[in-house]
Amino acid sequence: MAIVAQSSKFSTYGRPVLAWAVGLLFFFPIFWMVLTSFKTDADAVKPEHLIFFTPTLENYLNMTENYDYWRFARNSVISAVFATVFTLVVSVPAAYAMAFNPSRATKDVLMWMLSTKMLPAAAVLYPMIFLAKGIGLYDTHILIITVLSLINLPIAIWMLFTYFKEIPKDIIEAGKMDGVNTWGEIKEILVPLAWGGIASTALLVFIFCWNEAYWTVRLTTIDAATLSKLIEGNRAPEGLFFGRLSAVSTAAVGPIVVLGWFCQKQLVQGLTFGAVK
Amino acid sequence: MSDRKLPRLLQAPAVLMLLVWMLIPLGMTLYFSFIRYVLNSLRRPEWTTPSLSNWRGLGNYEFVLKNKDFLLAIQNSLLIVCSILFLTVILGVLIAVLINKTFPGQGIVRVLLISPFFVMPAVNAVLWINMILDPVLGLQGIAVGNINDLLDSLRSAPIIGSFFSLWPELNPISFRATQTSAYAVIIMVTWQWTPFAVLIFMTSLQSEDQQQKEAAVLDGASTWSQFRFLTLPHLGRPIAIVVMIQAIFHLSLYAEIEIVSRGNGNKNLPYLIGEFANNNIGAASATGVFAVILANIVAIFLLRMVGKTLME
């Protein structure tokens, strides 16, 4: 490889410079949002305060007053946490069965599950509103949690399936010999072995739930409205509120972006169904 | 319990839930698409409750097909999805090849690059359309203003001034107009999903056969032909997967359209359905059926392409 290393100046100087430039370019909008969140609304639209300004925390301190931020944040946390838990409770046994006791239909079932993801949500928009209002669940946490679980179920099952497939069957068989029942198998053997896979599935599902912006916008008004709904409702501030809007946006995406940094690898495996390693 | 029953029992909740989730709302959409069903009608109050006696046959489909917004929405859906796919794949391959070799700060660059993917779509849209692309107050407006100021001062300068006086003033682009707002959506979604493509291509590049590459180098293969004949074929499968996953997500793109283009005529299918659903449920449902058909065409096409490799 020495030949390659010597052969180009690009590797020594060009590549790092270009790579850093690309990285900073992609990060710039986020940086800009964070920077703007420390400006007053007045400063945020003044070209002379583009870079030099007196930083202020007022936008963050007034989030409750300006946007009722914490109510939406609480709703986001409730929906995302419970939807994640519920998704896992349903998908772990299913993926376990598919990975360790596959039948001839298993492949088809998996493909069918994936195909439910391709059903455009908008196609069933009105029936969902109709049903939700009919049973009195419109704009409730239960509804949002259910819908979020359903749309993430296929991805969770696929992810877990690809993790479980990697576990040697013998280990599970050994458990059977020892007379452990199925529930025990899942709890005592599978979960400890596949802990990493289950955790990263949970993390990914949580992120998707948090960021979801179709059903959370269309099936809520106030009571169960999440952060997506809050931001969507303030779509066009006409420049008046760039500062406070940046603050509330930063608060809404900050924790998730940081979480995301820690699950890059799992993201690849999860979203490609293990096909890219 | 027998060996065969238990696995089925464990899968049952997931399968049943997805089955109900698919069949009931979809069945209702199908039903509503064949009847006259509106939310408000003073003239024909009987149409406001779904009933078989309001049967309309294919009337809703005809109505939708004749609606000029429908064709526009399909065109727009395809334009947006295809542009995003094209841009993310090209940028993704280039950036992945660029940052795949070790260099100082590789880890940090990776973290910087992947960040946009985790930003929630609503924030993405609000951030881009207001703070970056706005023609007056956004960075675009400020940049154009600065360039114009600079041109102005150059015009009044001696000697070179006459040269610059030929230059026109720059006009900032308004990304809230019908056509340009589609571009705004393409820009912001490309920004969000290129990192995803990069991440997947990078993962795949790490499993590339290094010995083969070294052999190629010893044989005097140029960087370009190494890329063309070794790297690119190796990336075939990940590219197919990136295309498939993105097609699934972007066909139902909603928040970005809603935030960027509300009311300005730039619609995609999900948005058009939402618009119909404000009153004309029959038309909304017929449009929904078309959306399902479109998604199925794309899905069949994609699953053919990718399906086999998934199950290996």
Tens digit of each residue's pLDDT (9 = 90 or more) over A135-164 = 999 989 999 999 999 999 988 998 888 888
Whether the predicted pLDDT of B252 surpasses 90: no
Output the average pLDDT for chain A: 84
Residue A3 confidence class, pLDDT cut points 50, 70, 90 = very low
B19: Cβ contacts below 8 Å, ≥ 6 apart: none
Contact A158, A110 (CB under 8 A): yes
Provide the pLDDT for residue B263. 66
- pLDDT at A239 exceeding the cut of 70: no
Mean pLDDT along residues A201-211: 90
Beta-carbon separation of B28 and A98 below 8 A: no
Q: What is the pLDDT of residues A109-119, one digit of tens each?
A: 888 888 788 78
Q: What are the distances in angstroms from CA A126 to CA A143, A239, B39, B91, B164?
A: 15, 34, 11, 38, 58
Q: Calculate mean pLDDT across residues B34-54.
A: 78
CATH number of B69-125+188-276: 1.10.3720.10
Taking 60 as the threshold, does the pLDDT of residue A43 lie above it? Answer: yes
Angstrom CA distances, B142 to A34, A246, B34, B280, stand at 18, 18, 52, 43
Confidence of residue A2 (pLDDT cuts 50, 70, 90): very low
Closest to A23 (Cβ–Cβ): which among B109, B136, B223?
A: B109
Whether the per-residue pLDDT at A201 is higher than 70: the answer is yes
Rounded Cα gap, residues B276 and B280, in angstroms: 5
Q: Does residue B25 have a pLDDT over 50?
A: yes
Written as one letter, the residue type at B163 is F
- Give me chain B's average pLDDT, please: 83
Question: In terms of Cα–Cα distance, which of B244, B193, B311, B114 is closest to A274?
Answer: B311
Question: What is the arithmetic mean of pLDDT over B107-120?
Answer: 90
pLDDT of A206 reads 92
User: Which of B112, B134, B264 to mutate to probe the A interface, most A CBs <10 Å?
Assistant: B112
Per-residue pLDDT, averaged over B157-162, amounts to: 78
Query: B82 pLDDT band (50/70/90 cuts)?
Result: very high
Q: What percent of chain B has pLDDT over 70?
A: 96
**pLDDT tens for each residue of A12-30:** 788 889 999 999 999 999 9
pLDDT of B310 > 60? The answer is no
Give me the interface pTM, i.e. the ipTM. 0.86
- Asked if pLDDT for residue A186 goes beyond 80, the answer is no
- If DSSP codes are grouped into helix, strand and coil, which group holds residue B11? helix
pLDDT digits (tens, 9 = 90+) for B192-215: 999 989 988 888 888 777 777 788
pLDDT higher than threshold 50 for residue B258 = yes
Helices B106-114/B68-99 angle, 10° precision: 170
Task: Determine the pLDDT at residue B181.
Answer: 85
| Nearest by CB: A257 against B18, B119, B199 | B119
Helix (H) or strand (E) holding A160: helix A141-165
Q: Which residue, chain included where needed, has tokens 């069903």?
A: B37
Q: Looking at residue A91, what is its pLDDT?
A: 93
pLDDT for residue B259 is more than 60: yes
Q: Do A47 and B145 touch (CB under 8 A)?
A: yes
Q: Which amino acid belongs to residue A68?
A: D
pLDDT at A40 exceeding the cut of 90: no
pLDDT band at B311 (very low <50, low <70, confident <90, very high): low
Residues in CB range of B290: below 8 A, 6 or more apart:
B61, B64, B70, B74, B269
A275 with A73: CB under 8 angstroms?
no
CA distance A117 to B302: 13
**Which tokens belong to A90?**
């349903």
Q: Which residue has the higher pLDDT, A147 or B244?
A: A147
pTM above 0.90, yes or no: no
Query: Would you say B288 and A130 are in contact if contact means Cβ atoms under 8 Å apart?
Result: no
Residues of B in contact with A237 (CB under 8 A): 130
Which of the 8 DSSP states describes residue A12? I
Express each pLDDT in A50-97 by its tens digit. 788 888 888 898 888 888 889 999 999 999 999 999 999 999 989 988
A207 with B118: CB under 8 angstroms? Answer: yes
Contacts of B114 in chain A (CB under 8 A): 260-261, 264
> Do the Cβ atoms of A155 and A204 come closer than 8 Å?
yes
Residue A136 CA, chain-centre distance (Å), reads: 28
Query: Which residues in chain A are contacts of B196 at CB distance < 8 A?
Result: 267, 271
> What percent of chain B has pLDDT above 90?
13
B70 pLDDT tier (thresholds 50, 70, 90): confident
**Which residues between 10 and 69 in chain A have a beta carbon less than 8 angstroms from any beta carbon of chain B?**
11, 15-16, 18-20, 22-24, 26-27, 29-30, 32-33, 36, 45, 47, 50
Structure tokens at B299: 């899905």
d(CA A262, CA A159): 17
Could you tell me the two tokens for A5?
């290393």
Report the DSSP beta bridge partners of residue B35. B55
Q: Which residue of B has its CA nearest to A204?
A: B118
* Both tokens assigned to B22: 């698919």
The DSSP line for A222-268 is STT--HHHHHHHT---TTTTHHHHHHHHHHHHHHHHHHHHTTHHHHH
Q: Are A182 and B223 in contact (CB under 8 A)?
A: no
- Residues in Cβ contact with B292 at an 8 Å cutoff, skipping those fewer than 6 apart: A119, A120, A123, B26, B29
User: What is the C-alpha to C-alpha distance for residues B17 and B24, in angstroms, rounded to an integer?
Assistant: 11
Q: How far apart are CA A219 and CA B234, in angstroms?
A: 43
The pLDDT score that the predictor gives to residue B66 is 86
Residues of A in contact with B310 (CB under 8 A): 111, 273, 275
Domain boundaries, chain B: 69-125+188-276
CB contact under 8 A, B255 and A23: no
Q: Do residue A45 and residue B295 have CB atoms under 8 angstroms apart? A: no
CA A232 remoteness from chain centre = 18
A126 vs B contacts (CB less than 8 Å): 28-29, 32, 277, 281, 284-285, 288
Mutate to test the interface with B, among A24, A37, A119, A263 (most CBs of B within 10 A): A119
Taking residues B274-284, report their average pLDDT.
Answer: 84
Angle CA A48–A49–A52, to nearest 5: 115
- Does pLDDT of A270 surpass 80? no
What's the pLDDT tens digit per position in B133-159? Answer: 888 888 888 888 888 888 888 887 777
Task: Indicate whether B57 pLDDT > 60.
Answer: yes
Beta strands in B78-170, from DSSP E residues, in sequence order = none
Q: Give percent of chain A with pLDDT exceeding 70.
A: 91
Which residues does A149 contact at the CB level (< 8 Å), separation at least 6? A83, A86, A87, A90, B17
| Nearest-angstrom CA–CA distance, A231 and A217 | 10
Q: Say how far apart CA B295 and CA B49 lie, in whole Å.
A: 29
Distance CA B117, CA A260 (A): 8
Q: How many CB atoms lie within 10 A of CB B1?
A: 8
Over residues A120-124, mean pLDDT: 84
Question: At which residue do the structure tokens 């997967």 appear?
Answer: B241
Burial A223-240 (b: 16+ CB within 10 A, else e): ebbbbbbbbbebbebebe
C-alpha Rg value of chain A to the nearest Å: 23
By the 10 Å C-beta count (0-12 exposed, 13-18 middle, 19+ buried), A167 is classed as middle
CB < 8 Å to B211, chain A: none
Domains identified in chain A and CATH numbers: 1-67+236-252 (no CATH), 70-233 (1.10.3720.10)
For residue A10, pLDDT beyond 80: no
Work out the minimum CA distance from B183 to partner chain A, whole angstroms. Answer: 17
Residue closest to A94 by CA, chosen among A167, A175, A164, A144: A164
Average pLDDT for A234-251: 81
* Burial state string for B29-63 with b = 16 or more CB within 10 A and e = fewer than 16: bbebbbbbbbeeeeeeeebbebeeebebeebbbeb
CB atoms within 10 A of CB B9: 13
- State CA B143 to chain mean position distance: 27
Model pLDDT, residue B190: 95
